[in-house]
Structure 1
Amino acid sequence: MSTPAVSQVSAVRDFNRFYTRVIGVLDEGLLHTSYSLTEARVIFELARRGPTEVPDLRRDLALDPGYLSRILARFTADDLVTRVPSVTDSRRQVVELTDAGEAAYHMLNERSEAQVSAMLSELSDEDGRQLVEAMRTIRTVLSPTPPPRAYLLRELRPGDAGWVVHRHGARYAAEYGYDLHFEAYVARIVADYLGGHDIRRENAWIAEIDGQPVGSVFCVRRDDDVAQLRLLLVEPSARGLGIGSRLVDECLRFARQAGYREITLGTNDLLTAARRIYQKAGFELREQSRHDNYGFEVVEEVWSRPL
């Protein structure tokens, strides 16, 4: 494990200071209440868990024993919680929210939702999507064992075409240095598809996580016998879940059912992850040629396989 650069440490600390100001953590009372952030965390956790042994609460919230004891003493005095001996071990206490504690939880929860809703209402749909995706990425990277994420595949819907063009342009520029010519190239492919595709022989799919697009693939007609796989993309935040392979498999399944005898695709030597997916799906490299495309020279490749 390498030592982080000073610039990375500074960037994380700057973000922490910025975000604590945004959500008001440093205010005298969280969400304009008399509760601190830690006290609110205890209330939220007890609302989620129900009756809980104090050592378990302390462990899961990573709190100092003395600090948690003082919080629970205050909550007991304010009639927010009850504490009774555990039936399995009288040396351990079980803590539970009272009706007043439940009311405090609902108040905190409603104010938190209103605060976040107000913040998001100031953003465009695209900015909101990017914000949530960035937060999801932070959680995934920092979680020791990220939870498995479910995804679904669906056919193209209104609004998806613009997303496909935008994300191809943005991702390929960020990861490979492609210029605007590539985005124009993708836009032409999408426009040709939307302009009059044969639904019996052409189709396109979007991969979604939590209602947000994270991937795409198109299956289009090359000629009566040959289909072409195009515009395979998986967002970085969704990689490692098998989405790329699943999109390719869906394209192959559709091409077989549509009566094609072969399927082909174009890629280049920079796209190593995609090439591995194609190889795993049975595609073989057929042609290579050098071209000065999208701002620099690449080795263009044609891959195909029988159906």
Structure 2
Amino acid sequence: MSIPSALIEEIRTASRTMVREFGFLRVTLAATDYSASGVHALLEIEAGDGVSAAQLAQSLGLEKSSVSRMVGKLIKAGEIEERAAEDARVKHLHLTSQGRQTVADIHAYGQAQVSKALNTLNPSQQQSVAQGLSTYAHALKTIRLGADRPLTPNLHISAGYRPGLIGRVAQMHADYYSRHSGFGAIFESRVARETAEFVGRLDQPCNQIWVATLDERIVGSIAIDGQDLGSNQAHLRWFILDDGCRGSGVGRQLLSAAVEFCDQQGFDAIQLWTFKGLDAARRLYEAAGFELTMEEQGSQWGSVVTEQQFTRAAAHVEG
């Protein structure tokens, strides 16, 4: 995948600014007498509640010799202590009472720094910052650890309505399809109107909606409408992901939840309508057993597009 050079440079510039504003270029960090690596070591020891020097080196991405020297300095300063583990050959690092106070001060300093910056942003911008930073940080970690795909921390999938669902479903659709297909107000208003109408029918056992949330922000959705098609067929609707979650596997999880629900409800088939050219989504559909059953041009969304219908026959009627 080719990344625009302007986007890369924008992120690099922002990263350099953050490094400077957070104080990583200074000799000490977070109003302590310790370097950035020392501060991060204290935070990792607190989080691990007893880690070895080798584990610390791995989590910080530092050479063992560097960590050994840093650990010696922190022990001498009275911040940490070594305790024997079950394996006498291994010693675990723990905070002393002084170290716990130092870490508490570090947290207070960092929380105040972040809070002041976020107070200059509106709530939507605050959520975007949290999601973007979390996703990017774990993408960097993925590269370092050699994982197969980006790590997505704090991401949960849940069923049912939650506050803000209708607006976020409409917003994610509008954002994506305005770029992909040139859709505008007609499309967004229809998505919002039909989603709102569907939410009013969630009390029916044949209807359900699932959302993916990252740090409490909705970043994906999918729904099964068991009423509007009739003939014991389910309508899969509003399958959308926030740009920051594409390629993370969350789309597959959402689709699996919807398909499993349909099988449990005993629907004879699942129908969905989409647009030609959405190749990543099509691969997900086909992997889940959907087949292309119809294709035609349409203009109901404000611009001419090729609409596609995919169908998945239920397992109990296949063959």
What TM bracket, shorter-length normalisation?
Answer: 0.7 to 0.9
Indicate how the Cα distance of structure 1 residues 70 and 222 shifts in structure 2: closer, same or farther if over 3 A, else same: closer
Q: Is the 8 A contact 1:169 1:183 kept in 2?
A: yes
- How many pairs were matched up? 304
TM-score, normalised relative to structure 2: 0.75
- The one-letter code of the counterpart of 2:308 is E
Indicate how the Cα distance of structure 1 residues 244 and 80 shifts in structure 2: closer, same or farther if over 3 A, else same: closer
CA distance in 1, matches of 2:54, 2:291: 58
The alpha carbon displacement at 1:40 in A equals 1.1
The alpha carbon displacement at 1:28 in A equals 6.5
Q: Considering only aligned residues, what root-mean-square deviation do their CA atoms show, in Å? A: 3.8
CA distance in 1, matches of 2:228, 2:38: 63
CA distance in 1, matches of 2:203, 2:59: 56
The secondary structure found in structure 2 opposite 1:32 is coil
Could you tell me which residue of structure 2 aligns to residue 158 of structure 1? 163
Could you tell me which residue of structure 2 aligns to residue 132 of structure 1? 130
CA distance in 1, matches of 2:309, 2:70: 66
The alpha carbon displacement at 1:159 in A equals 2.0
Larger Rg: 1
Could you tell me which residue of structure 2 aligns to residue 276 of structure 1? 283
| 1:183-262 → structure 2 map (5 Å cutoff) | 183-194=188-199, 199-220=204-225, 221-225=227-231, 226-240=233-247, 242-255=249-262, 260-262=267-269
The alpha carbon displacement at 1:186 in A equals 1.1
The alpha carbon displacement at 1:174 in A equals 3.9
Could you tell me which residue of structure 1 aligns to residue 60 of structure 2? 61
The secondary structure found in structure 1 opposite 2:212 is strand
Within the candidate set 297, 301, 307, 2:308 is matched to 301
TM-score, normalised relative to structure 1: 0.78
CA distance in 2, matches of 1:167, 1:18: 29
Q: Alpha-carbon deviations, 1:60-99, whole Å to 9, x = none? A: 534467866765565455333457999967xx99765433
Q: Alpha-carbon deviations, 1:222-279, whole Å to 9, x = none? A: 3431332211113343344544344334434544565654432211112222222332
Within the candidate set 271, 278, 285, 2:292 is matched to 285
Q: Is the 8 A contact 1:180 1:294 kept in 2?
A: no
CA distance in 1, matches of 2:254, 2:101: 47
The secondary structure found in structure 2 opposite 1:151 is strand
Indicate how the Cα distance of structure 1 residues 127 and 286 shifts in structure 2: closer, same or farther if over 3 A, else same: same
Indicate how the Cα distance of structure 1 residues 98 and 183 shifts in structure 2: closer, same or farther if over 3 A, else same: same
Q: Is the 8 A contact 2:181 2:303 kept in 1?
A: no
CA distance in 2, matches of 1:281, 1:50: 43
CA distance in 1, matches of 2:267, 2:84: 71
The secondary structure found in structure 2 opposite 1:31 is coil
CA distance in 1, matches of 2:206, 2:58: 57
> Percent sequence identity over matched residues?
26
Indicate how the Cα distance of structure 1 residues 15 and 283 shifts in structure 2: closer, same or farther if over 3 A, else same: same
The alpha carbon displacement at 1:166 in A equals 1.0
Could you tell me which residue of structure 1 aligns to residue 32 of structure 2? 33
- The one-letter code of the counterpart of 1:222 is D
